[in-house]
Amino acid sequence: MIVKVCHPKREDHFFNLSRYIRRDPVAEKTVDNFASLSRYMTRDAEFKAVATNCGCDEHDLDTAEQVVLATQNLNTRARKKSLHLVVSFAKGEYPPEEQLALIEHRLLGSIGMADLQRIRVVHDDTDNLHMHIAVNRIHPESLRSIQPSRDYPTLQKCARELEHELGLEILRGRDGKYQDLELARLLRERKDDIRTYIDRSENWEELNTGLSHLGIGIRARRNGAVFITLEELNHIDAGITLAASKVDRTFSRNALETRFGALTQEAIVLRTPTREGPSLEISDAALRQERHRGTESFQTWALEQREKIANLIEVASSWDDVHQSLAELNVDLVPYRAGLSLVNTNGRGAIAASRIDRAMSRNSLEARLGEFEPPLQAHEQAQQEPMDGYTERPFVDPSNLWDQYVQDRDALRLRLDRERERRKADRDRAYAAFARKYRDEAQAIRRSAFLDRFGKRLAFNRLAQRRKRAYEQLKTRSAPIRSRKPPSYRQWLLQQALSGHTSARSALRAMSARLAEPVAWEFASSGQVQGESKTHASRVHPNAVFRDGAVEIEHAGIPLIDDGDRIHVTDNELESVRALLESARRKYDSPLEIDGGVEFRTSVAICALEMPDIRFADRDLQQQVERLRTRQHPESEHGLER
């Protein structure tokens, strides 16, 4: 995501800024004050504005504006009283409402503005979904103007953390130039250390290993070489580069190739993709697929087959030979932007051809084979049956669990298809009966001998009113239910593990170790818990009080909503579920009533392993937890890892 702080050109006014957000046509000329910003944001009816910390209903914006104006009028010295924040997401990315609320809370909390009054609205009128946040800088209690220093770097750092936590696409925003300057400063300061590693190294691999201790690497780009920044934990390319010759002329590509030989793409790879460890060269989308589904992505398979694919390309003497050779693996080369992509012809999946081998880049192949030629129609028709190509398979498959999963998945798909067809047939019959009924009534009125012209007109009007009401009721009863999808392989393994399947627990443990993350971390969803209140419950000081009486509380840094009867969580991380249960344990006596989806209940069962005094009113959930507690021992190798 990209975070932008919009600074007004002159002294701002919260009311006008609010009107601008809410898209008031009259106030759009003064776009640098609060009321205008409020009107700009809320002109689209499908996006509802949300007011926070204003002491009123979160959708009552008029009251929220008056509260903010009253707060700002109590401070007569501050000139900048409003802040306009814009958060933009990647194209095609639509975070749910609970994630948007979390992003707003975390971003403003990072610069010390979480307690301030604000209005948030989401817009979808451009190619990128974006969120406007209008903030009152005047603190509602201390009445001091909050003016954080170095707010932009802090917001960008928080945005990077949220992208990793929520699985959003990582975007380089306006902070790219500052990161380039930071890399240039680092390289200037460590120039002597870089020269020392060059003198001690005998090849490119040793040089990159040494440079990795400085958090940098080197790779080829066009006709030169660039230094790259490496992420601290796993030493993968963080996307920030600087030409090596700009640091020192002795670091140019020609000078280094004289010492170490030709600089190729393979020479700078620190770790190659293997079954034992996640690939460090695949895209974020492919990595998300592997984490969500628990299966090998097409990009990982292609990188593992890079030698075989490169050999097929090397012996080809024409574009026709290239397409024909790649057809044996059910892959092909297609133009993409200025280069070529290797695509899976029997399903989804693609990777840049130059990442397989530099000799497979478009410039290299066209220099050898001439201008690119698409595959012949005969080759496309020949690719029907998979041979040695990519097929979706898990990384680990003890006891042939994948085959069992495929059977269960296909059976569930067949059952869901039959259920969908049955619902469609029932709905079609209901609409046909509805049309037949009112058609017969209209025909009866038309043929009636007891009604004159005015009586028939009145009867038809009454029939139309009854038909309209009945049609709305029929639409409500026969509304299509959102189609369910079969669980992914990883979700299926988790369900089997909670049922006591030993092999499934082993597969989950190996999968989580490969991805370096806790078991089932991604499968929590929002939910709520309730129960009988304790007589002497510890008093919790709320962060905010809503108009309906609900309060926002905080437990271990996790925001929760307590409406008196239930405690809600708006986050889908295991830490949030754990905080929810610990807060409910303080307030309610067992058994607790859990309300949420299947994934949320699964996460509750996992977190309940640490809390032996918690019991649940749901018999199935309680039995799952008891079975899991019985089988789990600290010294046992079959326990689910946290």
Segment-wise mean pLDDT, segments of 10 residues, the chain, 642 residues: 72 61 49 53 62 86 86 84 87 85 91 90 81 89 86 84 80 54 75 85 84 83 80 52 83 87 58 38 76 82 87 88 88 86 86 85 88 70 56 77 87 88 89 92 89 89 91 81 74 73 75 60 48 55 53 75 76 75 83 80 81 84 82 48 38
Q: Indicate the number of domains in the chain.
A: 5
Q: Which residues is 558 bridged to in the sheet?
A: 555
Peptide bond into 153 cis (omega under 30): no
What is the SS3 string spanning 122-144? EECCCCCCEEEEEEECECCCCCC
- Helices then strands, counting H and E runs in the chain, come out as 24, 17
Residues 16 and 156 in one domain: yes
Same domain, 44 and 111: yes
State whether 7 and 150 are in the same domain. Answer: yes
Nearest of 227, 351, 336 to residue 279 by alpha carbon: 351
Question: Can you tell me the distance from the alpha carbon of 408 to that of 487, in angstroms, rounded to the nearest whole number?
Answer: 10
Residue 636 domain-assigned?
no
What is the model's pTM?
Answer: 0.39
The answer to the question of residue 639 being in a domain is no
Residues 18 and 114 in one domain: yes
Same domain for 237 and 353, yes or no, is no
The tokens describing 76, both together, are 């007569």
Exposure string of 289-302, with b = 16+ CB inside 10 Å and e = fewer, is bbbebbbbbbbbbb
Q: What are phi and psi of 295, to 5 degrees?
A: -125, 165
- Domain region containing 344: 284-382
Same domain, 159 and 189: no
User: What pLDDT shows up at residue 553?
Assistant: 77
On whether both 183 and 240 belong to a single domain, the answer is: yes
- State how far the Cα of 80 lies from the Cα of 9, in Å rounded to an integer: 11
- 180 and 114 co-located in one domain: no
Of 382, 409, 444, the residue that ends a domain is: 382
Same domain, 70 and 199: no
| Among candidate residues 264, 269, 382, 272, the one with its CA nearest the CA of residue 323 | 382
Domain annotation covers residue 392: no
Cα distance between residue 616 and residue 531, in whole Å? 9
Same domain, 499 and 352: no
Shared domain for 371 and 428, answered yes or no, is no
The pLDDT score that the predictor gives to residue 634 is 46
In a domain, 640, yes or no: no
Q: Name the nearest CA neighbour of 137 among 248, 13, 268, 267.
A: 13
Is residue 619 situated within a structural domain?
yes
Same domain, 262 and 371: no
237 contact partners, CB below 8 Å, separation of at least 6: 217, 219, 228, 229, 230, 231
Nearest one of 277, 288, 335, 281 to 306, comparing CA atoms: 281
Which pLDDT belongs to residue 68?
A: 87
| 393 located within any domain | no
**Element containing residue 333 per DSSP (H, E):** strand 331-336
DSSP bridge pairs for 5: 85
